[in-house]
Amino acid sequence: MKNYPQDEPDRLWTFNEYLGVSIAEVRANFERFDLLDERTRFVEGSFRDTIPKAKVDSISVLRLDGDLYESTWLVLDHLYPKVSPGGFVIVDDYALPTCKAAVDDFRAKHSIHLPFTTIDWSGIFWRK
C-alpha cells in the first residue's frame, strides 16, 4: 500500500476470504456461460503480482473489478494500451472513491477524453 497512499484508509484488501475467488469458481462461471475455449487464459494471483507481467497481446473487452486504487491503476496502466481501437473498457466499481480516483487520474494522465457511459449505480464503460 505504500506506493498507493490513496488506498491507506480503505480496508477492503483485508477481506480476501470474502472477496477472493478461486480459479475453479472462475472457470466454472466461464463454462456455465459457454465462454471457455482455447483462447481463454486465467491468471491467478494478486493484481500487483500478476498484471505487470501478464502475457497479453490484445484485448477487445477489458473488465476491471479491482475496487482499490492500486489494483485499478495497475490494470489500466499495464493493459489499457493493449485494448484494441474500438474495444471496450468496463469498470465495475467506479462508485468506490479509490477506484474512481484511479480511473480519473489515469484518464487525465493519458489525456483520455472519450466519454463514458454509466451502467448502473457503480459501473461505467467507454469505447477506445
The tens digit of pLDDT for each residue in 18-77 reads 556 788 998 999 999 998 898 888 888 888 889 999 988 999 999 998 888 888 999 999
Taking only the tens place, the pLDDT of each residue in 2-15 is: 576 665 666 555 55
| Number of C-beta neighbours around residue 37 at 10 A | 7
Q: In terms of C-beta distances under 8 Å and separation of at least 24 residues, what long-range contacts does 24-32 make, across chains too?
A: none
Q: What is the pLDDT of residue 92?
A: 94
Residue 1 clears pLDDT 50, i.e. is over it: no
Conformation bin of residue 81: beta by default, left when phi > 0, alpha when psi is -120 to 50: alpha
In the numeric block, the cell 498507493 is attached to: 4
Domains of the chain: 5-127 (3.40.50.150)
Residues making up the chain, counted from first to last: 128
Taking only the tens place, the pLDDT of each residue in 71-104 is: 899 999 999 999 999 999 999 999 988 899 999 9
